[in-house]
Copies of this chain bind each other. A is one copy, B any other.
């Protein structure tokens, strides 16, 4: 297995096809992010009709760059890529990230021929090809990325994705939610470097503790399944498979020219290897968050703490539908809770539907969470907050309550996750983002609904169960 570290840590990058139009796709996706994210390697913009761009000297071609170039990004039209690849071979470039589209994914013969030609030149010349039809790499530690809006902090999530848009989405949404990357890669049509290569890379990469993948098709099924099985033994793997339906399969063909394969076969592969399958990018982010922040609980018994009768019923249904258990609390615990929770309009059996005077009183809410987490029948604790209510009541009061819960969490031996519910209301979303940041700083993950939290926690538990052992988590 080749070491692909050079792909994620190039000492120099040439960007071919930069434009005098400042916001051109190539400038925006490659040149600007390197400049904004403080990439410390050398940057060589290439365009035969320009001499300077954003303070950098522009070179007429890759061959005219006087120093060695590790990595080349192509923003050229597909028809010009074979010539570029020949130059890259001559210049001993290590990897070409082919952002250019117009290859096999077009479905026409000329596109497929071009892709085969580019691949052939690359392989014979000893240059690795990323893509075509991709955005390439995101390595926050190196400041080397196509998306400057993500977090500059490194983390432990490795993401391999056939879709550039999905990669960008996880980087951006992840910055808000606390999903931090070791590295991510958008690899498009996978003409050369493919899902198996990157899976193996992340399996052995010491910085990566959780692997996430968006995969449309697999180029080398046998190697892939072997790599998947081996990777899951080392760390959790979360997979979103694009193209599970007839229409999805067709869309995959025109997106990355991949053969989607049968959804049934995929399901079997995931079951056998222990990889966790998700059904959209939101669930993928949720699962990655759970793996990043939560120790493996000892079991599936969850204590749910919150407010609202309907919300408690929904929480109980959501948890049990996701495969968790919400056992009734033992009589001693109920007695202790009842000592400070009024009986009218509340529930203390699990879920806890507490009274407003407990929900808005730090000491009492902290005590509630503490009592639940001390209960022997409980393996993890989920605490619900309604950002909708806080819109009226004031975000400061909500912050105090969350602080009290985080405080209880610090002393807990069991995993704690928080749900901040917004019902999609924009004012509540603002509140949720603000207090969510507070939770993440304390190392506690936040989910937008109880259903999503429960599914994420189920992935967490199911992974560690599939490994046949309860051991220390990814962190």
Which A residues fall within an 8 A CB radius of B?
Answer: 25, 77-78, 100-102, 105-106, 108, 111, 133, 149, 161-166, 168-169, 172-173, 176-177, 214, 216, 242-248, 250-252, 254-256, 279-282, 308-321, 325-328, 343-351, 353, 356, 386, 388, 392, 423-426, 429-430, 432-433, 448-449, 451
Across the interface, A343 reaches (CB within 8 A) one of B108, B166, B252, B429, namely B108
CA distance A350 to B432 in the complex (A): 36
A–B Cβ pairs within 8 angstroms, 26 of them: A78-B344, A100-B344, A105-B345, A161-B310, A163-B309, A165-B386, A169-B388, A172-B425, A173-B423, A173-B424, A177-B424, A242-B314, A244-B321, A245-B320, A248-B316, A251-B312, A251-B351, A255-B309, A255-B310, A279-B451, A280-B314, A281-B310, A282-B449, A424-B429, A426-B430, A426-B432
Q: Check B281–A423 contact: CB distance below 8 A.
A: yes
Q: Check A313–B252 contact: CB distance below 8 A.
A: yes
Looking at the assembled complex, report how far the CB atom of A255 sits from the nearest CB atom of chain B, in whole angstroms: 4
Looking at the assembled complex, report how far the CB atom of A134 sits from the nearest CB atom of chain B, in whole angstroms: 10
Copies of this chain per assembly: 2
CA distance A440 to B328 in the complex (A): 44
Known: A281-B423, A310-B161. A317 touches B429 (CB 8 A): no
Q: Check A251–B177 contact: CB distance below 8 A.
A: no
CA distance A388 to B423 in the complex (A): 19
Looking at the assembled complex, report how far the CB atom of A372 sits from the nearest CB atom of chain B, in whole angstroms: 14
Q: Check A325–B247 contact: CB distance below 8 A.
A: yes
Across the interface, A423 reaches (CB within 8 A) one of B77, B172, B423, B426, namely B172
CA distance A304 to B342 in the complex (A): 52
> Closest residue to A253 on the B side, CB-wise?
B349
> Closest residue to A244 on the B side, CB-wise?
B317
Q: Across the interface, which residues of B come within 8 angstroms of A426, CB to CB?
A: 176, 429-430, 432-433
Q: Across the interface, which residues of B come within 8 angstroms of A349, CB to CB?
A: 250-251, 254
Q: Across the interface, which residues of B come within 8 angstroms of A256, CB to CB?
A: 309
Known: A255-B347, A308-B165, A353-B254. A424 touches B176 (CB 8 A): yes
Q: Across the interface, which residues of B come within 8 angstroms of A312, CB to CB?
A: 251, 255
Q: Across the interface, which residues of B come within 8 angstroms of A313, CB to CB?
A: 163, 216, 242-243, 248, 251-252, 255
CA distance A271 to B209 in the complex (A): 46
Looking at the assembled complex, report how far the CB atom of A421 sits from the nearest CB atom of chain B, in whole angstroms: 9
Q: Across the interface, which residues of B come within 8 angstroms of A429, CB to CB?
A: 424, 426, 429-430
Q: Across the interface, which residues of B come within 8 angstroms of A100, CB to CB?
A: 344
Q: Check A25–B310 contact: CB distance below 8 A.
A: no
CA distance A111 to B320 in the complex (A): 29
Closest 6 pairs (CB-CB, A-B): A163-B310, A101-B345, A102-B344, A247-B326, A245-B320, A255-B309
Q: Check A353–B255 contact: CB distance below 8 A.
A: yes
CA distance A263 to B239 in the complex (A): 31
Known: A251-B347, A310-B162. A280 touches B216 (CB 8 A): no
Across the interface, A317 reaches (CB within 8 A) one of B108, B247, B348, B350, namely B247
Across the interface, A77 reaches (CB within 8 A) one of B250, B344, B356, B448, namely B344
Q: Across the interface, which residues of B come within 8 angstroms of A105, CB to CB?
A: 345
Across the interface, A311 reaches (CB within 8 A) one of B165, B176, B326, namely B165
Given A251-B353, A255-B310, A255-B347, 7 additional A-B pairs, CB 8 A: A166-B310, A168-B388, A172-B423, A254-B347, A254-B353, A255-B353, A256-B309
Q: Across the interface, which residues of B come within 8 angstroms of A282, CB to CB?
A: 423-424, 449
Looking at the assembled complex, report how far the CB atom of A406 sits from the nearest CB atom of chain B, in whole angstroms: 20
CA distance A100 to B343 in the complex (A): 12
CA distance A4 to B242 in the complex (A): 51
Q: Which of A77, A177, A326, A426: most chain B Cβ within 10 A?
A: A426
Q: Across the interface, which residues of B come within 8 angstroms of A309, CB to CB?
A: 133, 163-165, 251, 255-256
Across the interface, A242 reaches (CB within 8 A) one of B166, B310, B425, namely B310
CA distance A44 to B192 in the complex (A): 78
Q: Across the interface, which residues of B come within 8 angstroms of A310, CB to CB?
A: 161-166, 214, 242, 255, 281
Known: A242-B313, A344-B100. A173 touches B25 (CB 8 A): no
Q: Across the interface, which residues of B come within 8 angstroms of A281, CB to CB?
A: 310, 314, 423
CA distance A348 to B108 in the complex (A): 13
CA distance A176 to B428 in the complex (A): 12
Q: Check B133–A345 contact: CB distance below 8 A.
A: yes
